[in-house]
């Protein structure tokens, strides 16, 4: 059973809160991240975007060791160069297994 939502009174919401909680747009919207191209270490969202898979699937592949990972504390990051090599290795092994000529 879920609790009923309390009515929101815009006068009681802190002014620094993003969007104010009353449905209006954020006062300072977060700009789209352009750091994907330059970053050496990728998180699960960036890996998912590059591989065009879901974020959950990317996180699963990182956590179970299917992708090369560097751990910094509790954070798991995938080196961009290692991801590119991983893609190349898995693409070539698939071509070898099918008996197709390499191009």
For the domain that residue 56 is a member of, what is the CATH number? Answer: 1.10.1660
User: Whole-number mean pLDDT of the chain?
Assistant: 77
Question: 78 in a domain, yes or no?
Answer: yes
CA distances from 40 to 43, 81, 84, 100 (A): 10, 8, 12, 33
Question: 93 in a domain, yes or no?
Answer: yes
Please calculate the CA angle 31-74-57 and round it to the nearest 5 degrees: 65
Cα separation of 15 and 27, whole Å?
A: 9
Question: 50 in a domain, yes or no?
Answer: yes
Question: 81 in a domain, yes or no?
Answer: yes
Q: What is the pLDDT of residues 24-61, one digit of tens each?
A: 665 666 555 555 557 899 999 999 999 999 999 999 99
Statement: the pTM of the whole predicted model exceeds 0.75: no
Could you list the residue range(s) of the whole structural domain that residue 96 is in?
A: 39-103
How many distinct structural domains can be found in the chain?
1
pLDDT of residue 69: 95
In three-state secondary structure terms, 60 is helix
Question: 28 in a domain, yes or no?
Answer: no
Question: 63 in a domain, yes or no?
Answer: yes
Question: 65 in a domain, yes or no?
Answer: yes
Q: What is the pLDDT of residues 65-102, one digit of tens each?
A: 999 999 999 999 999 999 999 999 888 655 566 666 66
Question: 13 in a domain, yes or no?
Answer: no
Question: String of b and e for 19-32 (b: at least 16 CB within 10 Å)?
Answer: ebeeeeeeeeeeee
């Amino acid at each position: 059973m879920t609790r009923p939502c309390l009515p929101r009174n815009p006068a009681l919401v802190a002014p620094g809160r993003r969007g104010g909680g009353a449905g209006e747009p954020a006062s300072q919207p977060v700009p789209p991240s352009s750091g994907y191209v330059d970053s050496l270490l990728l998180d699960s969202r960036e890996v998912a975007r590059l591989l065009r898979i879901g974020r959950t699937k990317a996180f699963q592949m990182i956590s179970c060791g299917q992708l090369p990972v560097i751990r910094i504390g509790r954070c798991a990051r995938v080196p961009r160069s290692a991801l590119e090599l991983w893609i190349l290795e898995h693409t070539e092994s698939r071509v070898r297994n099918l008996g197709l000529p390499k191009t």
